[in-house]
């Protein structure tokens, strides 16, 4: 279509939206609740039609896409009381979730040195560092949940500089990390199948104090992939979730740029599922704007387009973290994660799953961020309010809305088990 025709169509879309569209219809196009934002969103949608459209190839066979999409992030390792840990898992299963994305922190398992899996931090005699994670795996099995095991957070001993290099910095010897990956994969073979290699390697502080490096992360990913497959050929490997950012600095690198450089370094052969973060931030889940200079829930489409351009259309995207933040005004400072009301959060989360189910056949699991923390010690932090359940197990509105939505989907046979 010629440029003049696109301009005419865009103008017609804008006029029709303003004249004929209800506020709810405008929300369905723009993800904006207020009229000024809806007008701005329509203008940006119209302008977006002047650019080449993303290629998502929904018709091709896509591995690991036709799965139950309902996942949630947990911090079960921080729950000291076993009864509270079990109560978390029971509430998650009762709501209708199928997956938990649970970290298996390297620093909490191989704590004091290479090959040392005894925890002597509180007792000189030591306890089995695996015991906590064995219990978590057992609970998941008991309640019919699948685990996505996130393997990150190196121990201080793995770096000559210790934590001065950054508490999440990669080890000096990648082999130490890949040995840990192999140990986890081997220990839980036949019980845990899905493993994520690192988290948010494109932003600070997830790569420590050093400059982020797609090439260095790709080397780590590829070596970990090989060791995991040796330990269990049935293991399924997720890449480290890329954080959406527009920055082009040494500490925070645009996720699309980072991913392209990963592909250039050979990462396409080193993961089975691509993982991204899927936050909506300042607009709702129905925001259909496709702008590389904007972060919204629909940014996943641009990631999919990049995968297709690199010949990786046969792989699914799994969203490691998705949510909107009902942070109260008295805690809101920089507004890094956006702000919604509790009622909006309860409405948006089901809509996010619905959009993916209806529009994105290349998306598999979407993991809500997050279930609960063990305490409210960090309630002065903006990110704390993404929680679904309070530390005392009080349920927020989004727990009820997600439970209702998931149970409706399962009853209607729209999700696989």
At 1 the pLDDT is: 42
Please tell me the predicted confidence (pLDDT) of residue 15: 53
Please compute the mean of the pLDDT values over residues 379-399 and round it to a whole number: 97
Nearby residues of 266 by Cβ (< 8 Å), 6 or more positions away: 218, 222
Q: Indicate the pTM of the whole model.
A: 0.94
In whole numbers, what is the pLDDT of the chain averaged over residues?
94
Percent of the chain clearing pLDDT 70 (strictly above): 95
Residue 50: its pLDDT value, please?
A: 86
Give DSSP secondary structure letters for 90-117.
Answer: HHHHHHT--EEEEE--GGGTS-SSTT--
Q: Which residues contact 54 (CB under 8 A, 6 or more apart)?
A: 290, 301, 302, 304, 305
Q: Residue 17: what pLDDT?
A: 52
Contacting residues for 234 by C-beta, under 8 A, at least 6 apart: 189, 193
- pLDDT of 2 reads 46
Identify the residue with better confidence: 291 or 402.
Answer: 402
3-state SS, residue 407: helix
**Residues 274-326: tens digit of each pLDDT:** 999 999 999 999 999 998 999 999 999 999 999 999 999 999 999 999 999 99
Q: What pLDDT score was predicted for residue 240?
A: 98
What's the alpha-carbon Rg for the chain, to the nearest Å? 22
Q: Please report which residue ranges of 119-192 form alpha helices under DSSP H.
A: 131-142, 174-187
Q: Is residue 226 within a helix (H) or strand (E), and if so which, with residue range?
A: helix 214-231
Q: What is the pLDDT of residues 246-263, one digit of tens each?
A: 999 999 999 999 999 999
How long is the chain? 417
290 neighbors 48 (Cβ within 8 angstroms): yes
Strands 146-151 and 99-103 come out as: parallel
Is 178's pLDDT higher than 50?
yes
**Cβ–Cβ < 8 Å for 104, 151:** yes
- The band of 136, judged by pLDDT with boundaries at 50, 70 and 90, is very high
Which residue would you say has higher pLDDT here, 5 or 235? 235
- pLDDT of residue 379 exceeding 90: yes
pLDDT at 54: 96
CA–CA distance, 311 with 263 (Å, rounded to integer): 10
Q: Which two tokens stand for residue 61?
A: 């066979």
Write the burial class of residue 324 (CB in 10 Å: 0-12 exposed, 13-18 middle, 19+ buried).
buried
């Amino acid at each position: 279509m010629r440029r003049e025709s696109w301009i005419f169509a865009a103008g017609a879309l804008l006029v029709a939206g303003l004249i004929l569209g209800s506020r709810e219809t405008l929300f369905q196009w723009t993800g904006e609740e207020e009229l000024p934002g809806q007008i701005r969103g329509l203008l940006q949608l119209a302008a977006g039609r002047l650019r080449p459209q993303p290629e998502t190839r929904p018709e091709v066979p896509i591995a690991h896409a036709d799965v139950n999409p309902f996942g949630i992030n947990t911090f079960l390792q921080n729950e000291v009381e076993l009864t509270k840990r079990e109560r978390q898992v029971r509430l998650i299963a009762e709501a209708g979730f199928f997956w938990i994305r649970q970290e298996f922190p390297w620093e909490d398992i191989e704590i004091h040195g290479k090959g040392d899996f005894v925890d002597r931090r509180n007792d000189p005699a030591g306890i089995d560092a695996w015991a906590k994670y064995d219990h978590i795996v057992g609970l998941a099995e008991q309640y019919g949940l699948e685990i996505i095991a996130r393997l990150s957070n190196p121990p201080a001993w793995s770096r000559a500089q210790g934590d001065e290099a950054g508490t999440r910095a990669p080890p000096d010897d990648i082999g130490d990390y890949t040995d840990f990956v192999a140990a986890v994969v081997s220990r839980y073979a036949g019980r845990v199948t899905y493993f994520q290699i690192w988290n948010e390697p494109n932003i600070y502080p997830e790569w420590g104090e050093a400059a982020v490096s797609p090439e260095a992360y790709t080397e780590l990913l590829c070596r970990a992939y090989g060791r995991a497959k040796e330990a269990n050929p049935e293991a399924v490997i997720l890449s480290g979730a890329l954080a959406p950012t527009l920055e082009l600095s040494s500490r925070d690198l645009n996720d699309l740029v980072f991913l392209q450089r990963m592909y250039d370094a050979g990462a396409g052969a080193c993961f089975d599922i691509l993982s991204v973060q899927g936050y909506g931030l300042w607009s709702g889940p129905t925001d259909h704007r496709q702008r590389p200079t904007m972060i919204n829930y629909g940014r996943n489409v641009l990631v999919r387009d990049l995968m297709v351009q690199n010949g990786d259309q046969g792989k699914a995207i799994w969203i490691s973290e998705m949510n909107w933040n009902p942070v109260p005004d008295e805690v809101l400072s920089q507004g890094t994660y956006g702000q919604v009301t509790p009622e909006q959060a309860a409405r948006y989360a089901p809509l996010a799953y619905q959009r993916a189910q209806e529009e994105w056949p290349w998306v598999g699991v979407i993991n809500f961020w997050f279930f609960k923390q063990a305490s409210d010690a960090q309630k002065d932090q903006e990110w704390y309010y993404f929680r679904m359940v309070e530390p005392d197990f009080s349920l927020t509105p989004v727990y009820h809305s997600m439970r209702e939505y998931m149970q409706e989907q399962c009853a209607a046979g729209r999700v696989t088990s």
